[in-house]
Amino acid sequence: MLDMKYLRKNEAEAAQRLLDRGVPAEKLQELLALDQERREAIQQVENLKAQRNAVSDKIAYAKRNKEDASEAIAAMQQVGADIKALDSQQAILDDKVQNLAAHLPNLAAAEVPVGPDESANVEQRVWEPVDYDTRPHALGEAPSWLKAHYEIGEALGILDFERGAKVSGARFLYYVGDGARLERAVYNFMLDEHRQEGYTEMIIPIVVNDTAMFGTGQYPKFQDDAYRVAGLAQTYIPTAEVPLTNYYAGETLPSEDLPIKFTALSPSFRKEAGAAGKDTRGLIRLHQFNKVEMVKFTKPEHSYAELESMTANAENILQKLGLPYHVIMLSTGDMGFSAAKTYDIEVWMPQQQVYREISSVSNTEDFQARRMHITYRDDNDKLQLVHTLNGSGLAVGRTVAAILENYQNEDGTVTIPAALRPYMGGQETLTATAHY
C-alpha cells in the first residue's frame, strides 16, 4: 500500500512514478478525487457525532438528576438517523478508496531502470566457477551429447513426470530414490547456510488466510494464480514469504532486535495461469515446488544494505554449488507488485544455453509493512513502519535442474557437487537406478 499522504502532496511526481510501473495517470486522479470526497464526508459526519456526544452527556446528566430529557432525545433521533445514513455512505467511499489503493503497485526506487518489460533489465555481474571451462559445457559451448535436465532425470530414473501427471495433473512430479535424496540434500544445505548467516529457521503454515495474502500483496490483485482452499477464505501459499512476513503482522517490533531474519523451506503452489504452453517439461515451471525463502525486517535506513547482503546470501549458495549465474536488476516494468527494487539471479542452463531465474530478491520498503501494520519505535520513540525484504535462497527444484545439467557427464551420470556430498552420505555420483 502506498502512503496516501505522499500521493496527495506529490501528485505530479507520484503520477510519473506510477506511470513507470505501468499505471495510467487517470488511476491516481480517480483515487485522489475519491479521497477528497471521503475526507469531506468524514468532516460532515464527525461534526454530527460531536454534537450527539455532547447532547448524550446532557441527557445522561439530566437522567441522573431525575429531570425530563424527552425533548433532547426527540431532537437526537433525527441526528442519529442522519449519522447512520452518512456513516454508510462513508463506508462505501472507504471501500472504494481502499480498493483503488490496494491495486496500486509499489513505486520503484530511484536507481531502478525504467522500462516496459524484461528488455530494460540491467545485468549487474556474471559469476562462474574458476574450473568451469574444464567442464565440457562452458558458456556458449554446448556439446551435442548434452541433455536437458528432465532427460537426465528420466534416464536416471530419479524424476517421474508421467506418474506425477497421472496422480495429480500436468506440472506435478515425483522425485524418486536419489532424486528425492538430492532435493533433500539441496534444501538442507541451503537452510544450514542461511542459519549460519544469522537467519532464524522456521517451519511455517502452508495454508494462510486472506488477510495474510493481502498483507504481502498477493491479494486482491493476483487471486487467479493462487490455489484457494475450496469453501474457505484460505489459500495454499505461493511462497513462504507470505507466512514469514505476516508472522509479525499488526506488531510493533523492539528497535534493538532489528534487523530480524527468517528462513524457511516450504512447498509453493502456483496455478501458473497465463503460462500455458511455456516450460511444459521439467522442473522449471510446476504447480508445486520447494523453495527456501529468506525474509528480513529492517529499519528504513538499512534496508538497501540488507538487500545487497540478502542477494549475496543467495549468490553464496550458487557459488558453493559451483553453478554459473548472473545477477540482473529488474526494470520498473518487470518487477513484482510489492517490490521497490528487485535483483533476479539467473542460473546458467547449458543445454538450452540460457540463464533461468532461480532467485528473486526484493526490498518492498514499507509497502507490505503498511498493509500489515508492522512498526518499530525510532530514536524519538515515534512509531515507524519497518521495511520488509524477501528473497529466494533458492528455488530448490530449479537448483536440482541446474545441477543435473551443469554436472552431467558424457556417460549419462551426474557428478554430485562437493558441497552436497556430506548431505548424501558421501555419495559422489548419480547413476541409473532401477525403475519400478
Partner RNA sequence: GGAGAUAUGGCACAAUCUGGUACUGCAACGGACUCGAAAUCCGUCGAGCCGCAUUUCGCGGUGUGCGGGUUCAAAUCCCGCUAUCUCCUCCA
Binding site for RNA (CB under 7 A): 4, 39, 42-43, 46-47, 49-50, 52-57, 59-61, 63-64, 73, 76-77, 79-80, 83-84, 91, 373, 375, 383
In whole angstroms, what separates CA 80 from the centre of its chain? 45
Q: Least Å distance between CB 80 and RNA?
A: 3
268 is in an annotated binding site: no
Cβ distance to RNA smaller for residue 120 or 202:
202
Cβ distance to RNA smaller for residue 56 or 427:
56
Q: Which amino acid is at 435?
A: H
Which CA distances in Å does 276 have to 34, 170, 171?
38, 11, 11
193 is in an annotated binding site: no
Name the residue among 215, 197, 338, 202 with its Cα closest to residue 259.
197
111 is in an annotated binding site: no
Q: Least Å distance between CB 214 and RNA?
A: 14
240 is in an annotated binding site: yes
Find where cell 566457477 sits: 129
Cβ distance to RNA smaller for residue 368 or 406:
368
360 is in an annotated binding site: yes
239 is in an annotated binding site: yes
Residue 366 main-chain phi, psi, to 5 deg: -100, 10
Q: Least Å distance between CB 61 and RNA?
A: 7
Cβ distance to RNA smaller for residue 42 or 419:
42
Which CA distances in Å does 428 have to 101, 248, 373, 425, 433?
54, 42, 49, 9, 15
Contact 1, 370 (CB under 8 A): yes
Cβ distance to RNA smaller for residue 49 or 285:
49
390 is in an annotated binding site: yes
Contact 358, 346 (CB under 8 A): yes
Cβ distance to RNA smaller for residue 45 or 283:
45
270 is in an annotated binding site: yes
Which CA distances in Å does 336 have to 67, 242, 342, 373?
65, 14, 8, 21
In whole angstroms, what separates CA 337 from the centre of its chain? 9
Name the residue among 148, 140, 199, 141 with its Cα closest to residue 414.
148
What is the rounded CA–CA span in Å between residue 15 and residue 39?
21
357 is in an annotated binding site: yes
Q: Least Å distance between CB 341 and RNA?
A: 25
Cβ distance to RNA smaller for residue 261 or 370:
370
Q: Least Å distance between CB 206 and RNA?
A: 13
Cβ distance to RNA smaller for residue 55 or 139:
55
Which CA distances in Å does 242 have to 294, 418, 423?
11, 33, 28
Q: Least Å distance between CB 107 and RNA?
A: 18
Q: Least Å distance between CB 60 and RNA?
A: 4
Residue 348 main-chain phi, psi, to 5 deg: -80, 125
CA atoms within 13 Å, Cβ hemisphere of 189: 26
365 is in an annotated binding site: no
Q: Least Å distance between CB 59 and RNA?
A: 4
What is the rounded CA–CA span in Å between residue 366 and residue 299?
10
308 is in an annotated binding site: no
What is the rounded CA–CA span in Å between residue 73 and residue 59?
7
Residues contributing to the annotated binding site for ATP: 270-272, 357-360
Residues contributing to the annotated binding site for L-serine: 239-241, 270, 293, 390, 392
Residues contributing to the annotated binding site: 239-241, 270-272, 293, 357-360, 390, 392
